[in-house]
Amino acid sequence: MSLTAALSPDVLAKYQPVIGLEVHVQLLTQTKAFCGCINRYGGEPNTHVCPVCLGLPGALPVLNRQAVEFAVLASKALNLTINEESIFARKNYFYPDSPKGYQISQFDRPLAENGWMDVSDGKGGTRRIGITRLHMEEDAGKSIHDGFADSARSTYIDLNRCGTPLVEIVSEPDLRTPEEAYEYLTKLKEILLYTGVSDCNMEEGSLRCDANVSVMLKGAAEYGTKAEVKNVNSFRFIREAIHFEIERQIEVVESGARVVQESRLYNSAEGRTYSMRSKEAAHDYRYFPEPDLPALFVDNAWMTKILADLPELPEARRARMIADYDLTAQDAATFANTRSFADAFEAAAKTAKSPKRVANLILGELVGRLNAAGLELSQSPVSMQGIVQAADLVEDGKLSSKQLKGLFDIAFEKSEDFAAVYEREKPQQISDTGAIEAMIDEVIAANPKQVEQFKGGKTTVSAFFVGQVMRLSKGQANPALLNELVMKKLNAA
Ligand code: ADP
Ligand code: ZN
Ligand code: MG
């Protein structure tokens, strides 16, 4: 990455970066936050609108119950304390994409406060990042800038997004590296997807992040002045923008100047941030309680009802999957990263003779083929039931793993039921004890060194003999019988 003029490692090492993130997340409700308009991305401009979200005089907001329920779920999943009573406030500012002249938000009494998320500390442990608050608010519309030559430039306003329910999740300035910030965001997104409150689609703007960055001399009593990087549309770019910002600020301080408190924009093509030099310099939003909405009460009974829908969260699920199905941490993570993937695996694993084999089959045979074909799991030509059939056939010793691969290819290409492919193809299997024993003898005779290792106590070399005989049999030896006979022969050798 090309950043600013190179700073020496010695100089870099003198400074401690400090990072806090503000994340806006659109909620997946049917309708908007305070009116009955459909809450959906896109559409003909200015068609998903009504007097309330257009801010016409006299129109009154009514709070969307589903939006509250989603915000409560997200809060709980992020370990926040939910306030029984919270207050909506007007944040006053003028901008063309917000016709009311204010945004309904929450200010000094937000829905939830004092949460946390753990990130890895890079030494095998974890570090706890504080989450200051989660509050509810509404999105603004969009300005669409058109035309290239200055003379031909026009700006259009699309208010379809106006009034889309949002939560803003604010972290404490507890993050210390761009990598930690990246992990925080990745985990946050995973948790929000699990709870089903948002689709977190960054391209469509359902999840947006502002990164606050400052630097201070290590051991200093106070944080440095922060700059806020806005409008970055991928986690990778946020990580790069923070990298750049840290080095830029260290250069500023090293040169004897001061970091200016300001908003900055990240240009991903150049890998730099630029000052916005904007109106926001000394903003006074003149917050006051929203007179058109009563206080929000989430009493115990409602809370209990909402939280009944809280799913098992990714971290807990990974741990349980390792224990329940004897998966490696890596495999459990692969499944648990996406709730639907984990659900599909678990549903299949419960009906199979060996859940571990189901996992191996999905990760070893299915995922690679799906990726190569550019297909989602939900579009898989081999059903989960087919995976279970295949796993059970292997488990029963009716198929060697080589034969399995061949049949899997056919099932995948023809979108056929795995059991049907097996019945038709019925691959040759050698189950004649004498024939298998003859091959084992041949392999044992050819590999005296490995036999010695086995005798010396390294019993795992039996897998070597099984593999060699399997090859000799062109993958046709009955695997269960082969295993049994190899052990018998080796023990007798
Ligand atoms: P402001 O009043 O400018 O909005 P806040 O105190 O509300 O600032 O914090 C906004 C975000 O900036 C939070 O995520 C917080 O963790 C982060 N933040 C605050 N101070 C610093 C700092 N010195 N360096 C980095 N991030 C900071
Ligand atoms: Zn509306
Ligand atoms: Mg603030």
199 lines ligand 1 (CB under 6 A): no
How far is 119 from 19, CA to CA, in rounded Å? 14
Number of Cβ within a 10 Å radius of residue 337: 16
Which atom of ligand 1 is found nearest the CA of 171? 14
CATH number at residue 441: 1.10.10.410
* Domain co-membership, 438 together with 411: no
Q: Looking at the CA of 173, which ligand is closest?
A: 1
Which atom of ligand 1 is found nearest the CA of 225? 23
20 lines ligand 1 (CB under 6 A): yes
How far is 237 from 229, CA to CA, in rounded Å? 11
* Domain co-membership, 265 together with 329: no
Residue by residue, pLDDT tens for the chain (493 residues) are 445 567 899 999 999 999 999 999 999 999 999 999 999 999 999 999 999 999 999 999 999 999 999 999 999 999 999 999 999 999 999 989 999 999 999 999 999 999 999 999 888 899 999 999 999 999 999 998 876 656 667 889 999 999 999 999 999 999 999 999 999 999 999 999 999 999 999 999 999 999 999 999 999 999 999 999 997 989 999 999 999 999 999 999 999 999 999 999 999 899 999 998 655 555 789 999 999 999 999 999 999 999 999 999 999 999 999 999 999 999 999 999 899 999 999 999 999 999 999 999 999 999 999 999 999 999 999 999 999 999 999 888 888 888 899 899 999 999 988 888 988 887 778 888 888 999 999 999 999 999 999 989 888 899 999 999 988 888 888 888 888 899 999 998 7
* Domain co-membership, 77 together with 225: yes
* Domain co-membership, 420 together with 446: no
**H or E element: which one contains 215?**
strand 207-217
Total count of domains within the chain: 3
With CA atoms as reference, report the closest residue to 387 among 424, 362, 423. 362
249 lines ligand 1 (CB under 6 A): no
173 lines ligand 1 (CB under 6 A): yes
* Domain co-membership, 291 together with 344: no
Helix residue ranges per DSSP H, 14-64: 51-54
Pocket test of ligand 1: the residue of 117, 226, 245 to mutate, having most ligand atoms within 8 Å of its CB, is 226
User: Ramachandran region of residue 296, left (φ > 0), alpha (ψ -120 to 50) or beta?
Assistant: beta
* Domain co-membership, 257 together with 401: no
Within a domain: 306? no
* Domain co-membership, 353 together with 400: yes
Q: What spacing in Å lies between the alpha carbon of 38 and ligand 2's midpoint?
A: 8
- DSSP bridge partners of 128: 118
Indicate the residue among 425, 443, 474 that finishes a domain: 425
How far is 10 from 399, CA to CA, in rounded Å? 61
* Domain co-membership, 438 together with 421: no
**DSSP per residue, 69-102:** HHHHHHHHHTTPEEPSEE-EEEEE---TT-TTSE
Q: In terms of residue numbers, what domain contains 481?
A: 433-492
How far is 205 from 362, CA to CA, in rounded Å? 32
Contact 449, 403 (CB under 8 A): no
With CA atoms as reference, report the closest residue to 142 among 163, 161, 166. 161
Within a domain: 4? no
Within a domain: 1? no
What's this model's pTM, rounded to 2 decimal places?
0.86
